[in-house]
């Protein structure tokens, strides 16, 4: 799965730690999501979309073979 979390985070001028604190997750979770090593739960994806004021499909997309 591809995502644009890092881009959206930078647009909001948030550090990984600040985003993690807002979402009540660890900074390591944010790092793993941004690098594509971890796919968030539906609940976390919805929280991210609400924070970034967009739809989930705008920040997460499937790659070929997913």
| List of domains in the chain | 2-53 (1.10.260.40)
Cβ atoms of residues 59 and 3 within 8 Å: yes
Q: What does pTM read for this prediction?
A: 0.90
Q: What is the pLDDT of residue 64?
A: 80
Find, among 15, 48, 66, 40, the residue nearest to 58 by Cα. Answer: 48
pLDDT tens-place string over residues 10-32: 999 999 999 999 999 999 999 99
Q: What is the pLDDT of residue 41?
A: 97
Mean pLDDT of 36-42: 96
């Amino acid at each position: 799965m591809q995502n644009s979390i890092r881009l959206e985070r930078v647009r909001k001028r948030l550090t990984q730690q600040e985003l993690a604190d807002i979402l009540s997750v660890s900074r390591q979770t944010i790092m793993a999501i941004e690098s594509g090593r971890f796919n968030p739960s539906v609940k976390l994806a919805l929280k991210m979309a609400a924070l970034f004021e967009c739809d989930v499909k705008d920040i997460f997309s499937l790659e070929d073979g997913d």
